[in-house]
DNA sequence: ATAGTAAGTTACATAAAGTAAGTTAAATAC
DNA sequence: GTATTTAACTTACTTTATGTAACTTACTAT
């Protein structure tokens, strides 16, 4: 047996979540529509990687990018239905974190 | 605002899950105790990275490594209680995958 | 003796992420 | 009206993570 035997849908889902920052970006957008710099300062991601992630998430249909023709132009990011459907996943992780994670310096 | 304002426990939890392969390794071990090569061939991970991940998960208290003094020696990996406590997370992801993921070549 | 298996490790190559400076366009600030 | 600031990125470069393939060690089977 050299071929993986994992459900391809599950594999795809977990490959999304296991990309660094993706979970945090979606978690952050669960709070509602936000602008680039808001997301960036909220989660402490670099502009370059946030830009990558947002493009990727948009392309995957999880995030919507809206250009508001204000002056100057404003760009708003929000979750699509598909994006919002990940809420139970993030909430389950949140609960697990509260139950099992301890924050101290001596343990990584 | 330049500092992140995310709950540190949540951040820690999601940093575990957003490390490539970690979710799949735990998911795989939900099926019960397994040996190195079993995990490797089941999920299609390289020996090097699996070795890294198992050490890491052991150090985080999620995975237990048992040396069975058979001849030749057998090494078994299994989840600790803490590791098994991630089951709801993985199951939620699994359900989401069934509901929302489509597997085809035209979409990434 | 020779080959095979389990559980890794090592050396090297490629890809992803981080850092910091630069870009564009419009909006104040002086 | 020139100079600075802000938003939303992009570019160039460095560091870290991951992948690939060959090697190791200890035992077993042929």
Q: Residue ranges of the domains in chain A?
A: 9-100
Nearest-CB residue to B42 (from A5, A12, A96)? A5
- Rounded to a whole number, what is the distance in Å from the CA of B18 to chain A's nearest CA? 4
Q: Give the model's pLDDT for residue B70.
A: 77
* CATH tag, A9-100: 1.10.10.10
- Integer Cα distance of A66 and A68 in angstroms: 6
Closest nt to residue A38, judged CA to C1': D7
> Of A104, A106, A58, nearest to A83 (Cα)?
A58
Q: What is the pLDDT of residues B27-80, one digit of tens each?
A: 999 999 999 999 999 999 999 999 999 999 999 999 999 999 877 889 999 999
In DSSP terms, which residues pair with B34 in a beta bridge?
A: B77
- Tokens 């909220």, residue located: A42
Answer for B72: CB within 7 Å of strand D: yes
CA distance B77 to B43: 15
Which residue of A lies nearest to B98 if distances are taken between CA atoms? Answer: A9
Say if domain B8-100 classifies as CATH 1.10.10.10: yes
């Amino acid at each position: 047996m050299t071929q993986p035997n994992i459900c391809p849908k599950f594999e795809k889902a977990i490959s999304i979540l296991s990309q660094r920052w993706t979970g945090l970006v979606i978690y952050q957008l669960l709070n509602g529509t936000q602008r680039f710099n808001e997301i960036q300062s909220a989660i402490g991601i670099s502009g370059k990687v946030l830009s990558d992630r947002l493009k990727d998430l948009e392309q995957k249909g999880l995030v919507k990018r809206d250009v508001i023709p204000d002056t100057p132009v404003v760009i708003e990011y929000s979750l699509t239905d598909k994006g919002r459907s990940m809420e139970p996943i993030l909430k389950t992780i949140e609960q697990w974190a509260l139950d099992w994670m301890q924050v101290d310096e001596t343990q990584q």
